Amino acid sequence: MKLLKLVASAVALCAVFSVQARTFDEIKKDGKILIATEGQFAPFNFFNGTTLTGFEVDLAELVAKKMGVTIQWKTLGFDALLTGLRQDRWDLVIASHGITDERAKAVTFTEPHYCSGGMIIAMDPAIRTAKDLAGKVVAVQTGTSYLENVQKVSAIKEMKNFPTDVDARSALNSKRVDAWVTDRFVAKAVVDKNPTAGFKLGDMLFIERIAAAVAKGNQSLAQGWSKALAETMADGSYTQLSKKYFNEDVRCN
Ligand code: ARG
């Protein structure tokens, strides 16, 4: 009896504290989907003045349209994004998250919206490969897949973490670090925009599939998103958007 009471109160407590993720049907009924991103990761998600934009922002708008909902955007620090899904503070996150086993324990990933990898960037043209990182100080954004992959390069001198990728880049620019590891398309865009700054693109350290994420187990929303994403990939709108940002189609193949 005592045990039963204990179980009953435990269940009641869980009901109070666990907020249920909204299903795709509930979101459709509401007409609005709450999507969180960072807004500091050009050309994927960034601010142009006060306007949130980027490949992922524009793509999400295309996908949402096909899902029959409008997006309400939220921008937060990269670190807070996946955690907020667990607390059901927003429905979906799109912020260039690579699909990793570790993250997949905590959230449910949709189908990937692009494929990329972590690239080495330096000012010194002699730093190009993982081997060249031996004895060097490397900058990465906190909480990223770059961090765990740079950590695997055992011979590095030090890894410095920065709250945003922009800060990591600045550290390289001002030569406070020897190298920076970031997304290959971010790196390319930085070199294109600052051709005289002296950034040198090196090798890719690893490759990854990038996807949106929803609360763990929210299959209906993940499937609704993935289906709409597939439609953008089939009707030419994905390709058009991808070419606008990257001059190529960045989908996984
Ligand atoms: N692709 C990397 C990862 O999976 C970096 C993502 C960074 N995204 C951002 N919005 N800063 O961790």
CATH value at residue 166 = 3.40.190.10
Q: How many domains does the chain have?
A: 2
Do residue 195 and residue 220 come from a single domain?
no
Do residue 189 and residue 239 come from a single domain?
no
Nearest to 116 by CA among 140, 99, 128, 130: 99
Do residue 223 and residue 110 come from a single domain?
yes
37 CA: nearest ligand 1 atom: 10
Whether the model clears a pTM of 0.95, i.e. scores above it, the answer is no
45 CA: nearest ligand 1 atom: 10
- Ligand 1, atom 11: closest residue by C-alpha: 41
What's the pLDDT score for residue 17?
Answer: 52
∠ CA 132-183-50, nearest 5°, is 135
Tell me the sheet residues that pair with 179: 122, 138
Residue 145 CA, distance from chain mean position:
10
Nearest to 69 by CA among 38, 103, 42, 92: 92
pLDDT tens figures, 131-158 = 999 999 999 999 999 999 999 998 999 9
What's the pLDDT score for residue 8?
Answer: 61
**Per the structure block, which two tokens stand in for 130?**
């993982």
Q: In which domain, by residue range, is 152 found?
A: 117-208
| Spatial separation of the C-alpha atoms in residues 207 and 28, rounded to whole Å | 35
The DSSP code sequence of 26-74 is HHHHHTEEEEEE-SEETTTEEEETTEEESHHHHHHHHHHHHHT-EEEEE
* 173 found inside a domain: yes
What's the pLDDT score for residue 20?
Answer: 85
Do residue 48 and residue 110 come from a single domain?
yes
Low-confidence residues of the chain, pLDDT below 50? Answer: 14-16
* 13 found inside a domain: no
* 188 found inside a domain: yes
Do residue 84 and residue 128 come from a single domain?
no
Do residue 180 and residue 219 come from a single domain?
no
Ligand 1 centroid vs 178 CA: distance in angstroms? 21
What's the pLDDT score for residue 154?
Answer: 81
* Residues near 179 by beta carbon (within 8 Å), at least 6 away in sequence: 120, 121, 122, 127, 133, 136, 137, 138, 139, 172, 202
* 38 found inside a domain: yes
Do residue 108 and residue 168 come from a single domain?
no
- Ligand 1 binding pocket (C-beta < 6 A) is 38, 41, 45, 78, 95-98, 141, 144-145, 165, 183, 210
* 48 found inside a domain: yes
* 237 found inside a domain: yes
